[in-house]
Amino acid sequence: MFELKEECGVFGLYSQRAADLARLAYYGLFALQHRGQESCGISVNDHGVFTTHTGNGLVNDVFTADILESLGKGNISVGHVRYGTRGTIGLVNAQPVVVNHIKGRMAVAYNGRIVNACELREKFELAGSIFHSSGDAEAIAHVVTSARIRTSSIESAVGEAMDELKGAYSMILMSPAKLVACRDPYGIRPLCIGKTAEGIWVVSSESCGIDAVGGTFVRDVEPGEIVVFDSDGMRSIRTHCGSTKSALCVFEYIYFARPDSVIDGCAVQAARIKAGELLAETYPVEADVVVGVPDSGLDAAVGYSRKSGIAYGVGFIKNKYIGRTFIAPEQATREGKVRIKLNPVSVTVSGKRVVLIDDSIVRGTTSARIVRLLREAGAKEVHMRVTAPPFINACYYGTDISETDALIARDHKLEDIAGIIGADSLGYLKRNQVGIIAEGCKLKGFCTACFDGYYPTEKPERIFVNKYDKKINEGRS
Ligand code: SF4
């Protein structure tokens, strides 16, 4: 299936005393699993000695009790979950990336995408550097470590690196003595700080990661901010803050983030409910039941139901146990895969006029299958409502929508799309409604480039593709 997918989640810990940080990082990554299921990794720092384990697959599969034990105790840790959108599927691109450099060791984990990664990589390769992977994290490591030669601290090197890195990045770095977190000046990907009752600092892509380790949310990392954790506590470097208008990815609220997370002051669940309410106001319809496509459509369906007065129903059961090791059916039996992953609840929809809420329509094939499932389960009418505007442009900031020719809304009118997916009516969130779904969000601007083409950064001139790599979508359906 061609779906909208997030690239990564990052998690970091700093403790004044040695503690079982591997286990805490495991819990944090477990909570961030929705942001990436391809590979994961944890690096633990015990007074400058880094012990790292990475593996392909889910956090629960990669980190057995023995492996967590082998990572030992430490006072700093960095973790990562990855959904590879660039480079290969495979261990070579797993993070954290750990490097040795002239002033010590460093581990890097990041979420986002560097739009000038190709140029940076070429610059280093022409100077004789060797790359082991095809991901951006290694390019970031080169930029930071080369800046580290000139600077007196890791945080100064990160500041210099931020001048060179263009694009979306929420990253966590670990030096022998410090944990450093930073967010690109647009704040495209989220990043927040928490603290446990034992005084351990936590940095996480989403607040659900802080909750998972029993921590208390402290605040979000601001766009452009560098936050340093060391023996003196936490301090902030704000030289890159306010240099540009913020551009948080609005899809974090619509689809990527977990509904129990709060991003930049707005609860994800509240944003989804609001989107559903707006759809009910904008596209009212006579119907008997509102159902959402799990997971992100569920809260929006609640919003649509509340605003319209139409009953809410559980229209689908999603099989939660399909992991990356699931053996996808051959082309001829792809229909079966949808049924295994998602099954309609006929008692909810049979003989009814159904409002169906989903977060996006990308290529249209998935939506068509879902509408067909409802009809096969006895739905009399299916009125589809989408909590995002039509997707018409590529995303260069860490999702796997990089080819515009696959986007159904680029070449088809709304009425045509309704016909193609088999819906009786179709309504997308309007572009001018996107900015109002995240009530209470402290950031003033959102990235909406995939809907309107206004990219907050320059677009990449080239996308790095290693011709010897196995292509990212090989083996995916
Ligand atoms: S282009 Fe779309 S998916 Fe990509 S960062 Fe911007 S809003 Fe998010």
Q: Confidence band (pLDDT; 50, 70, 90) for 472? A: very low
267-438, CATH topology level: Rossmann fold (3.40.50)
Q: Confidence band (pLDDT; 50, 70, 90) for 469? A: low
Q: What is the DSSP string of 183-246?
A: E-TT--S--EEEE-TT--EEEESSHHHHHHTT-EEEEEPPTT-EEEEETTEEEEE-TTTTSS--
CA of 32 to the centre of ligand 1 (A): 19
Q: Confidence band (pLDDT; 50, 70, 90) for 262? A: very high
| Res. 255: pLDDT tops 80 | yes
Least confidently predicted of 50-64, 286-300, 353-367, 462-476: 462-476
Over range 235-263, report the average pLDDT: 96
Least confidently predicted of 60-74, 167-181, 374-388, 461-475: 461-475
| Res. 314: pLDDT tops 70 | yes
CA of 295 to the centre of ligand 1 (A): 19
CA of 250 to the centre of ligand 1 (A): 7
Over range 18-29, report the average pLDDT: 98
Percent helix, strand, coil in the chain, to 5, is 30, 25, 40
Positions marked active-site: 8
How far does Cα 183 stand from its chain's mean position? Answer: 14
- Identical fold for domains 8-247 and 267-438, yes or no, is no
Atom 2 in ligand 1: which residue has the minimum CA distance?
Answer: 450
Atom 5 in ligand 1: which residue has the minimum CA distance?
Answer: 249
Q: What are the extents of the domains in the chain?
A: 8-247, 267-438
User: Which atom of ligand 1 approaches the CA of 249 most closely?
Assistant: 8
CA distances from 118 to 121, 204, 457 (A): 5, 27, 15
Q: What architecture is domain 8-247?
A: 4-Layer Sandwich (3.60)
Q: What is the pLDDT of residues 361-398, one digit of tens each?
A: 998 999 999 999 999 999 999 999 999 999 999 999 98
C-alpha–C-alpha distance, residues 417 and 405, integer Å = 15
pLDDT of residue 473: 42
Atom 8 in ligand 1: which residue has the minimum CA distance?
Answer: 249
Q: What is the pLDDT of residues 447-456, one digit of tens each?
A: 999 999 999 9
Q: Confidence band (pLDDT; 50, 70, 90) for 2? A: very low
C-alpha–C-alpha distance, residues 131 and 185, integer Å = 27
Q: Confidence band (pLDDT; 50, 70, 90) for 459? A: confident
* Residue 95 contacts residue 83 (beta carbons within 8 Å): no
Q: What is the pLDDT of residues 266-309, one digit of tens each?
A: 999 999 999 999 999 999 999 999 999 999 999 999 999 999 99
Q: Confidence band (pLDDT; 50, 70, 90) for 25? A: very high
* Residue 189 contacts residue 169 (beta carbons within 8 Å): yes
| Res. 48: pLDDT tops 80 | yes
Token pair, residue 367, equals 């939506």
Q: What is the pLDDT of residues 411-440, one digit of tens each?
A: 899 889 999 999 999 999 999 999 899 999
| Res. 327: pLDDT tops 80 | no
Neighbours of 132 (CB within 10 A): 10
CA of 423 to the centre of ligand 1 (A): 26
- First-residue to last-residue Cα distance in the chain: 5
Cα-Cα-Cα-Cα dihedral sign, residues 260, 263, 266, 268: negative
- Mutational test site, ligand 1, from 113, 249, 400, 459, max ligand atoms within 8 Å of CB: 249
Pocket of ligand 1 (CB under 6 A): 188, 249-251, 395, 397, 399, 447-450
* Residue 469 contacts residue 88 (beta carbons within 8 Å): yes
| Res. 320: pLDDT tops 80 | no
Q: Confidence band (pLDDT; 50, 70, 90) for 477? A: very low
- Mutational test site, ligand 1, from 392, 399, 451, max ligand atoms within 8 Å of CB: 399
- Going by their DSSP bridges, the two strands 226-230 and 233-237 should be labelled as antiparallel
Instruction: Work out the angle at residue 52's Cα, subtended by the Cα atoms of residues 232 and 196, and round it to the nearest 5 degrees.
Output: 40
pLDDT of residue 29: 98
User: Which atom of ligand 1 approaches the CA of 446 most closely?
Assistant: 7
| Res. 476: pLDDT tops 60 | no
| Res. 89: pLDDT tops 70 | no
pLDDT of residue 422: 97
Atom 4 in ligand 1: which residue has the minimum CA distance?
Answer: 395
| Res. 184: pLDDT tops 90 | yes
| Res. 334: pLDDT tops 90 | no
70 vs 319: which has the higher pLDDT: 70
Q: Percent of the chain at pLDDT above 90?
A: 81
Q: Confidence band (pLDDT; 50, 70, 90) for 1? A: very low
User: Which atom of ligand 1 approaches the CA of 391 most closely?
Assistant: 2
329 vs 372: which has the higher pLDDT: 372
pLDDT of residue 134: 85
Q: What is the pLDDT of residues 111-131, one digit of tens each?
A: 999 999 999 999 999 999 999
